[in-house]
Amino acid sequence: MADHDLTGFTKSTFTHDGATRRLLRRGTGPAVIIMAEIPGITPKVLGFAERVAASGCTAVLPVLFGEPGRDTDPAAVGWPSVGRSLASSLWQVCVSREFTLLATGRSSRVVRWLRALAAAEHERCGGPGVGAVGMCLTGGFALAMATDERLVAARAVPPPQPSLPLACTRSRAGAIDISPGELAVVRRRCERDGLQVLGLRFRGDRLVPGDRFAYLRRELGDAFVAVELDAEAANPASALAPHSVLTEHLIDEPGQPTRQALDTVLDLFRIRLLGEQPSRTA
């Protein structure tokens, strides 16, 4: 897969509390905030955004790190290029005070900016609320954003692959980057408003350990819906270990477990944001 030239996506910026970031947007209808994983908004992340837009929603992608459209498939661009992209994105994250890499029980500061973005997109796009998808590094951001009323109205806040804080100790493996107070708000809204939190992971993924999903089950009860796939379900064409259910390791064929997981996410947005009935499209 080659670099994506961003055709079909409009470009803009959003500023809140002195921080200005670039945005990519595609589609019409209620907004879905899509937060990319390291190394950034790759062609496969853009492919996921295209599916969200085709479902009847507006896909909104904030550029949090990396260069949008850059291909990071080792088979296409080689490992040296991939290494440079990863190093550049990780450096942006590590030197920024907006991201919480190691601390537990703390929300990353960028979540405040993302909540403001969600409020602005709700006003712009309308609908019952806003959806949010976080991937890997940004997985917990979607959960922390659920303290905002606009996301509760949508009841659609899936956080695939929540990998912060980095699981370098057992205590961090069983936690997520959200403060206790914000988690309590999310729990109350799950009980009161029927908010559903969807999590996706491959079994054996060290970046998203099983303890983290167990923690979310304890904290959110039945409101947390876990989709856990065997590593064998990952796309074997990827040179990377199974991790990215919706992008890098997706096998986009009917009946494939990763495709079923993708359909589950899209159905959640159709039901909560568009008022449609569940469906399974090829």
Q: Judge if the upstream peptide bond of residue 165 is cis by omega within 30 degrees of 0.
A: yes
| The model's pTM | 0.86
Question: Mean of the per-residue pLDDT values for the chain?
Answer: 83
| Percent of the chain scoring above 70 in pLDDT | 83
Question: What per-residue confidence (pLDDT) applies to 111?
Answer: 87
Please state the rounded mean pLDDT for residues 214-235.
92
CA distance 141 to 109: 10
**pLDDT value, residue 165:** 44
Mean pLDDT of 78-106: 69
- Under the banding of pLDDT at 50, 70 and 90, the label for residue 115 is very high
Stretch 15-37: mean pLDDT, rounded? 94
Which residues lie below 8 Å from residue 7, measured CB to CB, with a gap of 6+? none
**pLDDT for the residue numbered 166:** 46
Q: What is the pLDDT of residue 282?
A: 41
Give the pLDDT band of residue 152 (cuts 50, 70, 90).
very low
- Greater confidence, 71 or 100? 71
**pLDDT at residue 275 tops 50:** yes
